[in-house]
Structure 1
């Protein structure tokens, strides 16, 4: 049953794997074979329907969709919307753009130039006012404020020095002494007490944690590890082997079923060809074709020749009748209105060409004979 050679690097399988593989592959082949044959039959039917029904129907629907949806919109766009848009653009240009351009060029531009000239004049006046009036006044005010600030600085310096000496001896020095001789020793003692208390608590928690760890390890971890190592892992290996073999058997059965389905399909195709196609082809080649040639040579070709001869005779008779009618109409017209008048020769008013000049002839007045 094994149609594929195992790889060279694959290790040899045990007796348990071989004992599982053969019945699993037989069962999978019996299960997969009807599915594969039904799948191949559906694939052939779908391909036949696609080639004979769906593709022509799709092309017809595509052509119908173009005729119903695309071409009318294209015609509407090309023959209605585009000329209408061009007409609207021309009207917009004539009614909106050209008046706005004229308004901008002959009204807004001169007005803007006038406003710019007035703004430059106002800016020049403000600059003169700033340079000639506001700047000297500001310089005078700054000079006065500088003098007042110098006087206030001299007075405020003495006051600041006295206040700083009082703050240093009344607040800073007593606070430093209090920190160095009272607060710092008390804080160190408090930190030592807290560190001792934390060490005691840590030792108690560590002991309780070790006790809980060994209790959980003995009661939970070691049994779970034993169950995992001696029960679950071997069962998982067995299930993995069974699952791998089932997957391999499924693939193997699918390939074998494909070969069987291909053989059955070829047999049915050969049977259909020998039962239906070959007899039909033999009847067509041995019976219908000679009968058709006989009918063509004995009936259709003489009938065609006769019809062509009748057609040639009819055309000749019609041509003769048309010539007779044309001649009779010309004779009747000549009898009523007479024959055609002879044409008059046109008089040429252009000067005739001069003769060819030779060595003895000349066109000048001095040398003419």
Structure 2
């Protein structure tokens, strides 16, 4: 008999950020719902509730401002794209040999619209397609390599310039393009593309100087799980802003690498961590026996936090004092967040940082970023696959 799925519920913080992404991001209802892994009806209802609470006049002014902002963004994006095309064209024609404007358009059409390429290159769209029909179907090795460079550049840019050759190679394979990893590595090196590296280490946010109960270390650095919601890891980090620090508590599923719960605040009280735990429980309704592993910080040892764990039959585990490697996968997640996003921008306000971190976790990390620990799949794909296997085996 198939396992019955429990209806998920979401925290107020998640709903607010989801609606904010829908209203401010210039994307459609279906697109945002797909990005966040929720139903369109659910998101539409949240939006209706949000709009009903605001002023119609203020909303109209806001939409007008957003429309103008989006128009300006599109114009800037168009100009940036044209500059990028001109830069690529310069490098393309410096390679020498008998090359034409049409050859350049053909090489870059995987990255840009043909009409845009022809406009910038000063070529005719109809002429390009006539030329394309006239050339032989078999590419030369040089032409194939030019096209592969374009594919690599597109993936590298689309994935925020944080992918190294292993993940770029995995993306190519997912798209049906079979090339050796060494070839991809060589081309990325020649193109000057390399994954972003961290600039600094995450400071400690753990205060273990207390007399509260301490749980045993049940994992002992064995960071494996056969199925989702079997082992959860928890930790805290912070994001600097112009208004001060924004603290982030997160919970990671060891089987899927998904961030199943998170919470952000301007303080380090136990409520911060409880918010992340409640989000994770509401989303996935874990079965009894789940192991929750965190550090010895006062937030995780506090009575309110332990009460939530006990109420849901979750077993608590803690790292040894001052030993960050006992929770290495969470350290890895925060390092990726800082390297791939936080260190690349400066936030004026906590609200700016909150919106950016929400987008990184829910859209990029959980549903776009390929993770080597789950076979170069996204966490959402890994969970869907594992839950499908679990449901079939239970039938």
Identify the TM-score tier after normalising by the shorter chain: under 0.3
* TM-score (structure 1 length as normaliser): 0.14
Task: Kindly indicate whether structure 1 or structure 2 has the higher relative contact order, using CA contacts under 8 Å at least 6 residues apart.
Answer: 1
* TM-score (structure 2 length as normaliser): 0.13
Structure with the larger helix share: 1
Structure with the larger strand share: 2
